[in-house]
Amino acid sequence: MNIDTLNKNLLAEMRGRVGVIWLRRPPSNALSSKFLADLDHVLVALLNHSDVDCVVLATGLNHFSAGSETSDFITPKRGSKTELLALCKMVAASQKPIVVAVQGACLSAGLELAISAQARVALVGAQFAFPDIKLGLMPAAGSTLRLPELVGPNHALTMLLEGGAIGAEQAAEIGLIDLIVQGDLLTAACDFALKLAQGTGRLVRRDSVKDARDLQAAVVQARVRYAGRRLASYDKIINCIEAGQIFMQPQAFALEQSAYDSLLFSEDTQGLCYALLASQRFRSLTYTQTATLPNGVAQMDVQHINIFGSGELVAQLAHRALVAGLQIRLVNPEQEGLMNCLLRISVLLAQDITQGRLDPQTRDVLWARLRSSKSTDLFDSSPIFCQQSDLFDGDIYITTARQTPPPEKSILIIAQDKFDYVADPAAPLDILAFLSGFFAKMGISSYDLLRGGYVDAQIKDALSQAISYLQTQGHARDAIIATLAASGVGVDANIALPPAPPNSKPILAAIQLALINRGAIMLRENRVPRATDYDAMVVQAGLFARWLGGPLYCADRRGLMVVRADLRKLAMGAADLFTPDPLFDHMIAKGRLFTQ
């Protein structure tokens, strides 16, 4: 059959009279607007085909879907869930059975799509969740109507208001899925869908929301249990579940979409989404960017390196090192391997010339820095790089995958244009000093972002100084601690907070300004690569409410001129802590923000 929208992210095929659509958008089938539009087109084409009796949605990836694109929440658009809502409506109204085959995680928007289908078949180990509440959000494609009909109001409220994952076994018990599969998931899903199409299959539905008294009791209980939560999403989810069983379906869908949009554009949700993305970016930093040397150990001035071995990794390392200006001794006792490696290095240098990164004269200068030998003719002062094999015993192994290094060894990880390394804690300090110098020579920045490292210590020092300053201003330590607790410091956004004590506003302002100013210092001194990384460290340390995003994010939201003026006022009482860093003047003059 001819479906012209098929692309690398979607594949349709026929299994007898079952149409199968494979979702394969790495890494976890995030449901972007474009992906949903393509899926809608393919699904309509299959459902309208005379040779198709039913459809199965499946994936070859590890997870059915992790939900929507997280980055979409940072630049929200009103009606952003309209594509998903339209697709789910079409799936729910299909006259031909649609069965979703779930493996791995089925979350958020992915689960909304799944519960709109006529049935769900899951592999053992599959996980189901609506974690939207953790970002101050809620489903927006009809799930506040459909989920109670599948699992009953109590289970629906728990899933939506707690956000935790449930396994396939529990999902089957409450009616969320129709079949658990031990082996071939696709075959089982196709068989299940075909039986539904032929009228020989049967679905068991609880229809528990038909009892209005049970529904109202569940709603009342939820309102009591989740009273006092900061996030507005709690009340809106409860209201939508209640209204979804009272209003006509079009009005219920409109109410859910309106509630979602109001949450998406709220300051709390925007802060939570920013904090999530900042944390993800922070975790993506390579180890070399979070590496530090022990006190008293100086970075080595690296001028040359020794490499044992051959092959692509050796060639990549030698090429990058030559371009960085290092001298290289390349050693391999096997002539053929040595020649192949030299040929590969020459090809990489030729590509540099073709792409305009080098000229022929510079290439010749670089090539002159490379020495090759079949004997162990080494630079005595340099450690030895080698691939992990039985032939060579080097100090630093090179590989493509992060792994535990052998005792007292280090591993250099080469992944595309990124270098990373892992060192055994017992590795000699001169190897660590060499690696630090090697990365500096290669132009790879190194930041001390580890827990207990320099930046972490600076964050805690700023908080400590702010507390000391507040005490000199007459604020009791108990009042300071109570203010932090009431503001959400060190707690999740999804719990009820204690009331703020009197006069808490200046306490919280001073602490936030101290962390903002220290963040500006860390950026100016190039102690952190990005403002998002500083914010992620502060939030992860439990020193800033997650829904506020982070200190520098807050500074941007408030306005840098306003923050600078507030710092100047406090600087009269604690100049070292609150005098605005010069970076504020620079940023304001350039019209820039920290988190741009």
Give how far the C-alpha of residue 352 lies from the chain's centroid of Cα atoms, to the nearest Å. 33
Beta bridge partners of 327: 304
Confidence of residue 74 (pLDDT cuts 50, 70, 90): low
Asked if the model's pLDDT at residue 428 lies above 90, the reply is no
DSSP label of 578 = H
CA 194/CA 86 separation, integer angstroms: 25
> pLDDT tens across 444-501, in order?
877 888 888 889 999 999 999 999 999 999 999 999 999 998 888 877 767 778 888 8
∠332-336-342 over CA atoms, to 5°?
70
CA distances from 185 to 17, 91, 115, 179, 181 (A): 17, 21, 18, 10, 6
DSSP 155: H
Helix, strand counts (H, E) of the chain: 23, 16
Does 124 score more than 90 pLDDT? yes
Residue 278 has pLDDT above 70, yes or no: yes
d(CA 437, CA 300): 5
The whole-number pLDDT of residue 4 equals 44
**Least confidently predicted of 195-209, 232-246, 476-490:** 195-209
Residue 416 sits at φ, ψ, to 5 deg, of 55, -120
Of the pLDDT bands very low, low, confident and very high (cuts 50, 70, 90), residue 250 is confident
Mean per-residue pLDDT over the chain, rounded: 89
What pLDDT sits at residue 205? 65
pLDDT in tens, 129-177: 999 999 999 998 999 999 998 999 999 999 999 999 999 999 999 999 9
The answer to whether the beta carbons of residues 183 and 44 sit under 8 Å apart is: no
Tell how strand 384-387 and strand 370-373 pair up.
unpaired
- pLDDT at residue number 164: 93
Q: Is the dihedral of CA 164, 169, 175, 179 positive or negative?
A: positive
pLDDT at 2 > cutoff 70: no
Cα dist. 130→35, 135, 136, 263, 331 in Å?
A: 20, 11, 12, 16, 56
Per the CB < 8 A criterion, the answer to whether 550 and 538 are in contact is yes
- Would you state the structure tokens that stand for residue 373, as one six-digit string? 């030998």
